[in-house]
Amino acid sequence: MISEADYQRAVELLCAGELVAMPTETVYGLGADAANPAAVARIFAAKGRPADHPLIVHLAGHDAVRHWAEHVPDVAWELMETFWPGPLTLILKKQDWVPDAVTGGQDSIGLRVPGHPVALELLRRFAAAKGARAGIAAPSANRFGRISPTAAAHVAEELGERVALILDGGPCKVGIESTIVDCSRPQPVVLRPGHIAPLHLAAVLGQQPAIASASADTPRVSGSLEAHYAPQTPLRLIARADLADFLAAQHGKRCGILSPNSPPAVTPHDWRQLPAEPLGYAHDLYAALRSLDCPGIDLIVVEAPPADPAWAAIADRLRRAAAGAGQR
Ligand code: TXA
Ligand code: MG
């Protein structure tokens, strides 16, 4: 439970250019006053993130959008009406005044009204203090390239003294980062898959949106770098049919297994059973990965998720985790 004093302190810190970690429904964010370049620079320093990676600006409501975005196409308004507050980030052409520190020097900006009551309350109070259109720039509150935090304790582990205050809003409901849709192009393009799936977007857009390929199309989306969302322990994705043989061949290695199935009666390995449906799986995924990413485990083995569109966002994060893992 977050007290009145916590909110007041959070707003004071933000107004003073300090960092505040806040819960959102997706993952925890590392927040700063988005209109204050010095405050935004602190985010990059705390995360160890390259300065040309753009940040998402979180807003209290739709009213603030025009302050940040110069051009807002009709489809963007329709998506906001349907999915905000919620786990959807829209990329729009930015207003000239928006600091380069926030956009990584690009002419577009990422905007989102988050669905978590604590984030919304903080945003409303910050807007009351700073002016109605104030925004909080917030990337996921992890060190660059690491697993996003889905609980306040993860933020403390990742950032420790680097963040002035962590608001503890409990575990994040969704558990993976927001869907990003680029509305600055003639047709909307999904840059990062998430909880809001192409099927949901199609219901608003009238057609399936294009999905950006992770390579040349999205060089500026840090979530599109292969080495992202990664544990320090090596990670392999193994098809269900091959799992038993693969584990049998790992002589002397201590494996940490993520699987929707229950462990065999006797196993020398550490086993985490995750829910067999995608919403529950996403909710638990990062906490499970984090708990296996420890010196006692030599290899994280993840049973490959089903090749079903409902699992696409999870498959995306696991593929990137496998590509970036093992760099300790
Ligand atoms: O769920 C989320 O989106 C979480 C919570 C805290 O809101 N935030 C998050 O932030 O995942 P971050 O910085 O870890 O990832 C934001 C992604 C990055 O991949 C960034 O490159 C992309 O959004 N992004 C932000 N502004 C952009 C822009 N103008 N053009 C293209 N990509 C952009
Ligand atoms: Mg991130």
pLDDT tens digits for range 102-136: 999 999 999 999 999 999 999 999 999 999 899 99
pLDDT at 228 over 90: no
Task: Specify the residue with its C-alpha closest to ligand 1, atom 3.
Answer: 178
Which class for 109: exposed (0-12), middle (13-18), buried (19 or more C-beta within 10 A)? buried
Residue 225 CB contacts under 8 Å (≥ 6 apart), including other chains: 145, 320, 324
Ligand 1 neighbour 179 (Cβ under 6 A): no
pLDDT at 227 over 60: no
Please give the single-letter amino acid code of residue 141. A
Is the CB of residue 109 less than 8 Å from the CB of residue 98? Answer: yes
Ligand nearest to the CA of 225: 1
Mean pLDDT on 128-156: 96
Task: Give the position, in ligand 1's atom list, of the atom nearest the Cα of 221.
Answer: 21
Residue 218: per-residue pLDDT: 47
Task: Specify the residue with its C-alpha closest to ligand 1, atom 20.
Answer: 221
Question: How many C-alpha atoms does 68 have within 13 Å on its Cβ side?
Answer: 32
Ligand 1 neighbour 113 (Cβ under 6 A): no
Task: Sort residue 131 into left (φ over 0), alpha (ψ -120 to 50) or beta.
Answer: left
Ligand 1 neighbour 93 (Cβ under 6 A): no
Quote the Cα angle for 62-63-64, to 5°.
90
For residue 217, name the pLDDT band (cuts at 50, 70, 90): very low
Coil, helix or strand for 3?
Answer: coil
User: Across the strands, what pairs with 166?
Assistant: 21
For residue 224, name the pLDDT band (cuts at 50, 70, 90): low
Residue 265: per-residue pLDDT: 83
Task: Give the position, in ligand 1's atom list, of the atom nearest the Cα of 58.
Answer: 7
Neighbours of ion ligand 2 (CB under 5 A): 140
The C-alpha atoms of residue 38 and residue 56 are separated, in whole angstroms, by 16
Pocket test for ligand 1, best of 222, 226, 316 (most atoms within 8 A of CB): 222
Is the CB of residue 162 less than 8 Å from the CB of residue 19? Answer: yes
Mean pLDDT on 222-230: 61
Mean pLDDT on 266-291: 95
Residue 266: per-residue pLDDT: 81
